[in-house]
């Protein structure tokens, strides 16, 4: 499985290690330093995204993945508050 890691802090690195140990790959790792490259990633390049960022970033990350047809698992907590404030739904 090709995993897009959204958030490459302690948890993202741990997920990558586990994925590699199970013969998966993490060809894309997005963090604050390369966030702008997220929009170049398509569903043809990855099988799933795993989101572990900050609540301020999670909403837009999940939204982007859904719009691109990339299945996404979000481990970030508290990010749905942004959806409630905007009145938008994913």
> Domain of 64?
2-86
Token pair of 27 as six digits: 């060809």
Please give the Cα distance from 82 to 55 (Å, whole number).
8
Number of domains, the chain: 1
pLDDT 10s digits, 5-22: 999 999 999 999 999 999
Question: Which pTM value belongs to this model?
Answer: 0.86
Question: Does the pLDDT value for residue 24 go beyond 80?
Answer: yes
Residue of 6 and 88 predicted with greater confidence:
6
Give the domain CATH number at 41. Answer: 3.40.50.720
């Amino acid at each position: 499985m090709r995993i897009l890691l959204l958030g490459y802090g302690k948890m993202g690195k741990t997920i990558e290690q586990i994925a590699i140990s199970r013969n998966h790959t993490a060809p894309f790792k997005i963090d604050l330093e390369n966030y702008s490259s997220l929009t170049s990633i398509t569903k043809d390049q990855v099988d799933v995204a795993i989101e572990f960022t900050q609540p301020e970033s999670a909403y837009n990350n999940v939204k982007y993945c859904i719009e691109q047809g990339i299945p996404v698992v979000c481990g970030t907590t508290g990010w749905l508050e942004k959806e409630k404030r905007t009145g938008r739904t994913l």
